Structure 1
Amino acid sequence: MKTRRLFLQKASLSAMALAVPAFNPLSAMTNSMNIVSKDSEVLRVAIMGLGSYGTRVAEAIQDCNRVKLVGVISGTPSKVEDWKSTYNIPAKNCYDYDNFDAIKDNPDIDAVYVITPNALHKDQVIRVAKAGKHAICEKPMAISAEDGQAMVDACKTAGVHLLIGYRMHFEPNTLEVIRMRKDGELGEIRFFQGLCGFVIGDPTQWRLDRILSGGGAMMDIGIYAINGARYMIGEEPIWVTAQEVKTDSEKFKEGIDETITFQLGFPNGVIASCLSTYNMNNLDRFYLNGSNGWVEMQPSTGYGPIEGQTHAGPLTEPIVTHQTVQMDEMAAIIFEGKQPEVPVNGEEGVKDMKIIDAIFEAVKTGEKVALNLS
């Protein structure tokens, strides 16, 4: 019997080719999406990938008002049996990676949340879309912007939503900082710093496998600084420079970045200075400086609670379970076409992937790389 590891490696090497037209986000959100009837108040979700984060999402869904966990997709039969018992999931809603295309004939599942290794996302999301189900995909959405765009296009063609698991876009203290910036309380924004990292453990895990992860710390934790710079500053960067340091070439093999510092330049002259690492702990900090004020958040992107100080005092918004709020808000996006303060659609994910692609190019060439996120 194939092990889960062998299956993942095999699946990661097989991508689906799909020729589809260019994506129009406005028409997709307002016209061509399969909007669920408001009478169907609960979004019925199957989770694909029953690892630690899949478990965290499943637990968070138990407190949702508009989302219910109704199915599972996994390559590990023992996990499927455990989840069936724990979450009262019927056998007819349980699938493996080979047969989950059959969800197209299952009216009890509205959406699939893909929480598998990065390199598998493209193939799996496209298959979900072809089955006529909405796709929620954990970040990074893919291992390249090209793959991410293929996912967006496939979901557009199928008339289903593609949403990316940007939980911070719904976190109350994060939204309060965005409000302060938009209302002018910080004055003219001048600088952002994002520090993201931890010391990674098991050297055999998939995150340190180039084929499955598509990269190292940048894909896993650096994406928070990239995305955070964009929503904290409120503009899109136009260039990037980057430098890589690797102290352990055995653990961090070719294609697996250990530590990268990178700088993003914005049209208004703001610079974002960021760090992504798998070799330092206690790095989860955002700092935003403006002409009239400042914000420091630490922790800034962890599972919670998010804490911070501003020139006007501490951030005091309610503490929430990020994934619970995320899933309920995503139900509102699918049910009613609700527009969140910061987008969580596939286009948002592609923008981050374009920046990651450019960071890797800047590391390789030592040159400033221009960005076009339009």
Structure 2
Amino acid sequence: MSNKNIPEDGPGYNRRRFIENAGKTIIASGIIGASLNNDAEAQTPAGTGSKKTSDAIKVELPPIHAPSEKQDKWPAISPPAKRVGYALVGLGNLTLAELLPAFAECKYSKVVALVSGSPDKAKKVAEQYGIAEKNIYNYQNYDSISKNPEIDAVYIVLPNSMHKEYTIRAAKAGKHVLCEKPMANSSAEAQEMIDACKKAGKKLMIAYRIQYEPHNRLAMQWTREKKFGQVKVINSINVQNSGAPPQWRLDKELAGGGSLPDIGLYCSNTNRFLLGEEPHTVLASMYSTPNDPRFKEVEETVMFQMFFPSGAVANNLCSYGVHDSKHYRCYADNGGWFGLDPAFAYHGLKMEVSQTQGDIEMKQNPSKGEKNQFALEIDHFSECVMDNKTPYTPGEEGLQDHKVLEAIYESAKTGKPVKLERIEKLDAFRGSPPTES
């Protein structure tokens, strides 16, 4: 267990409550948890059973638009009893503002349980979303989810330092795991999570929503197909202006670092996703404003370059100390560039393309329409659980990101380039691609 309370109640966290509860928490998660885990191992772990994506129901309607126009699409949707049941672990901002509403747009997924350290809040949320009170858990009795057949998977939405513990406990309880990024606080922790899920025979996916979002997937397709020629340079920026402490993202023990693992990870992971390649070298520098209380423990700004086998170079900037901006551009060698601005936000992503034909430059904003990124990633994991497929962004994808981040930190510390293992295979760590909707 971490020696800090789980700060799911907003930007701050209550140290006094942790001290008051630390003893009973350790006892519960150690002695009681071990007993429950033994019970779970003695049983057949709860799974989806007969749930399959082929059970989804599709309604057919005649077209109302001319053949030249964009047509309406009516997805196949599983009935509630056939959907994968999730326990949401952590009721902070992301869960309340994004995840719970996203389940309303899911085709194969439903929320059946909550895990929270705040009983009053959990009860209110359960009432809001029609979740049975018996399916509310806390961090002490978390392991008893093993006895609940309604729960097929957990979605871990906790501070980074908590990811390893609650992933391992979920795997031992016989549940599949969808975990928020960054996967953990280190590559060593990430490997432990992978090993635990493999030992339990459970799937592990890291919630890289960008890799499921339609516009980003189109940018990936254009990169791979060389639509505008060979992409040689990617410029990626993800910056925001962090509020004052206390908040867990400014606490190194809870967050593992500052802007780099939180928002710089989007740059690193998206570069890898677009190219399908793994960097063989990184070069980085880091800066924090002196005497700014926000950056007493974690870094403010990181600038880093990634060098890929194809010759592509990615220039990246992440920061906690400037006005919000999130965008990237892919520069190709045959008269065009493309990207997204904004690129990494939860909503409102906008694609931009510039192409030269003779002495004319044409700029466009192609759109595939907005889709809920969280619903897309959750449903992909549910499809993998139901049809026994490897997720597109499995634990190994998260592990590779940690190796890259650790190399970036080392380069920033030494001021020298850092080499990584050279990997020539494309999409070396990704599993089954998501169903294009």
> Normalising by the residue count of structure 2, what TM-score does the alignment of the two structures yield?
0.76
Amino acid at match of 2:348: P
Instruction: Provide the C-alpha distance between the structure 1 equivalents of 2:390 and 2:353, rounded to a whole number of angstroms.
Output: 27
Amino acid at match of 1:130: K
Three-state SS of the structure 1 residue aligned to 2:323 is coil
State the Cα deviation string for residues 173-225 of structure 1 (Å, max 9, x = none). Answer: 11111111222212112001110010001321010011111111112111000
Contact 2:244–2:293 (CA under 8 A) maintained in structure 1: no
Q: Report the equivalent of 1:288.
A: 330
Q: CA deviation at 1:8?
A: 6.8
Runs of 4+ in 1 over 6 A off after TM superposition: 7-11
Partner residue of 1:176 out of 214, 218, 223: 218
**Which is bigger in relative contact order (C-alpha 8 A, separation at least 6)?**
1
State the Cα deviation string for residues 344-371 of structure 1 (Å, max 9, x = none). Answer: 1111111111111111111111121111
Three-state SS of the structure 2 residue aligned to 1:97 is coil
Q: Call closer, same or farther: CA 1:321–1:117 in 2, change over 3 Å.
A: same
Q: Report the equivalent of 2:72.
A: none
How do 1:191-210 and structure 2 match up within 5 A?
191-210=233-252
State the Cα deviation string for residues 108-131 of structure 1 (Å, max 9, x = none). Answer: 100010000000100110000000
Q: CA deviation at 1:234?
A: 2.2
Partner residue of 1:50 out of 91, 94, 98: 91
Q: Call closer, same or farther: CA 1:339–1:241 in 2, change over 3 Å.
A: same
Q: Within the alignment, does 1:75 sit opposite 2:117 as a pair?
A: yes
Instruction: Provide the C-alpha distance between the structure 1 equivalents of 2:290 and 2:386, rounded to a whole number of angstroms.
Output: 48
Contact 1:308–1:314 (CA under 8 A) maintained in structure 2: yes
Three-state SS of the structure 2 residue aligned to 1:45 is strand
Instruction: Provide the C-alpha distance between the structure 1 equivalents of 2:332 and 2:389, rounded to a whole number of angstroms.
Output: 30
- Which stretch shifts more, 267-276 or 328-337? 328-337
Q: Call closer, same or farther: CA 1:60–1:333 in 2, change over 3 Å.
A: same
Q: CA deviation at 1:98?
A: 1.1
Q: Within the alignment, does 1:304 sit opposite 2:355 as a pair?
A: no
Q: Within the alignment, does 1:240 sit opposite 2:269 as a pair?
A: no
Gaps of 5+ in 1: 17-33
Q: Report the equivalent of 1:112.
A: 154
Instruction: Provide the C-alpha distance between the structure 2 equivalents of 1:373 and 1:319, rounded to a whole number of angstroms.
Output: 37
Three-state SS of the structure 1 residue aligned to 2:293 is coil
Q: CA deviation at 1:373?
A: 7.0
Q: CA deviation at 1:69?
A: 0.5
Amino acid at match of 1:301: F
Q: Within the alignment, does 1:364 sit opposite 2:413 as a pair?
A: yes
Instruction: Provide the C-alpha distance between the structure 2 equivalents of 1:72 and 1:218, rounded to a whole number of angstroms.
Output: 30
Q: CA deviation at 1:233?
A: 2.1
- Which stretch shifts more, 164-173 or 38-47? 38-47
- Which stretch shifts more, 233-242 or 114-123? 233-242
The alignment-based identity, stated in percent, is 35
State the Cα deviation string for residues 24-70 of structure 1 (Å, max 9, x = none). Answer: xxxxxxxxxx7754157301001001001011101110221111110
Q: Report the equivalent of 2:382.
A: 331
Instruction: Provide the C-alpha distance between the structure 2 equivalents of 1:36 and 1:232, rounded to a whole number of angstroms.
Output: 36
Q: Call closer, same or farther: CA 1:277–1:373 in 2, change over 3 Å.
A: farther
Q: CA deviation at 1:311?
A: 3.0
Q: Report the equivalent of 1:260.
A: 302
Amino acid at match of 1:348: E
Contact 1:305–1:320 (CA under 8 A) maintained in structure 2: no
Amino acid at match of 1:324: A
Q: Report the equivalent of 1:346.
A: 395
Three-state SS of the structure 2 residue aligned to 1:141 is coil
Instruction: Provide the C-alpha distance between the structure 1 equivalents of 2:295 and 2:230, rounded to a whole number of angstroms.
Output: 42
Contact 1:36–1:334 (CA under 8 A) maintained in structure 2: no
Partner residue of 1:124 out of 156, 163, 166: 166
Q: Call closer, same or farther: CA 1:62–1:288 in 2, change over 3 Å.
A: same
Instruction: Provide the C-alpha distance between the structure 2 equivalents of 1:169 and 1:239, rounded to a whole number of angstroms.
Output: 23
Q: Report the equivalent of 1:224.
A: 266
CA RMSD of aligned residues (A): 2.4
Q: Call closer, same or farther: CA 1:36–1:166 in 2, change over 3 Å.
A: farther
Contact 1:222–1:276 (CA under 8 A) maintained in structure 2: yes
Q: Point out the structure with max Rg over C-alpha.
A: 2
State the Cα deviation string for residues 67-102 of structure 1 (Å, max 9, x = none). Answer: 111000011111111112111111221111111000
Amino acid at match of 2:385: I
> Normalising by the residue count of structure 1, what TM-score does the alignment of the two structures yield?
0.89
Q: CA deviation at 1:254?
A: 4.8
Q: CA deviation at 1:255?
A: 4.0
Amino acid at match of 2:109: V
Gaps of 5+ in 2: 7-13, 31-46, 56-80, 356-363, 424-437
Amino acid at match of 1:47: L
Three-state SS of the structure 1 residue aligned to 2:82 is coil
